[in-house]
Amino acid sequence: MTEYNSATDPNHATAGFPSDCAQCHDPTNWNNATFDHSGFPLLGAHATTSCDACHNGNYTNTPNTCDGCHLPDYNGSTNPNHVAAGFATDCATCHNETAWSPSSYDHAIYPLTNAHATVSCDQCHNGNYTNTPNTCDGCHMADYTGAANPNHVTAGFPTDCAQCHDPTNWNNATFDHSGFPLLGAHATTSCDACHNGNYTNTPNTCDGCHLPDYNGSTNPNHVAAGFATDCATCHNETAWSPSSYDHAIYPLTNAHATVSCDQCHNGNYNNTPNTCDGCHMTEYTGATDPNHVSAGFPTDCAICHDPTLWTNSTFDHNATNFPLTGSHMGPSCVTCHSNGYQGTPTNCDACHIADYNGTTNPNHVTAGFPTDCAVCHDVTNWAPATYDHNATNFPLVGAHVGVSCVSCHANGYTGTPTDCNACHMPDYDSANNPSHSSALFPTDCTMCHNSNAWDPSTFNHDGDYFPIYSGRHDGEWNTCVECHTGGNYSTFACINCHEHNNQNQVNNDHSGVNGYTYTSQACLNCHPDGNN
pLDDT digits (tens, 9 = 90+) for 46-84: 988 888 788 887 777 888 899 989 999 999 998 888 888
Q: What is the mean pLDDT of residues 193-198?
A: 82
pLDDT of residue 474: 77
Distance separating alpha carbons of residues 379 and 253, to the nearest angstrom: 37
Dmax (CA) of the chain: 191
- Long-range contacts formed by 121-130: CB under 8 A, 24+ apart: 121/80, 122/79, 122/80, 125/80, 125/85, 127/80, 127/81, 127/84, 127/85, 128/84, 128/85, 129/80, 129/85, 129/86, 129/87, 130/85, 130/86
Beta carbons within 8 Å of 423's beta carbon, 6+ residues apart = 407, 408
pLDDT of residue 150: 83
- Domain boundaries along the sequence of the chain: 2-121, 136-254, 276-336, 349-408, 460-526
> Range with the lowest mean pLDDT among 141-145, 370-374, 450-454, 481-485?
481-485
Per the prediction, the chain carries an average pLDDT of 86
pLDDT of residue 532: 67
Alpha carbon 363 to chain centroid, angstroms: 61
Distance separating alpha carbons of residues 520 and 517, to the nearest angstrom: 9
Segment 278-293, tens digit of pLDDT? 999 999 999 988 888 8
**Which is nearest to 476 in space by CA: 489, 467, 463?**
467
Instruction: Assign 155 a pLDDT band (cuts: 50, 70, 90).
Output: confident
Segment 252-267, tens digit of pLDDT? 888 888 888 888 888 7
Instruction: Assign 471 a pLDDT band (cuts: 50, 70, 90).
Output: confident
Question: What are the backbone angles phi and psi of residue 268, rounded to the nearest 5°?
Answer: -120, 110
Distance separating alpha carbons of residues 43 and 495, to the nearest angstrom: 158
Is residue 85 over pLDDT 70? Answer: yes
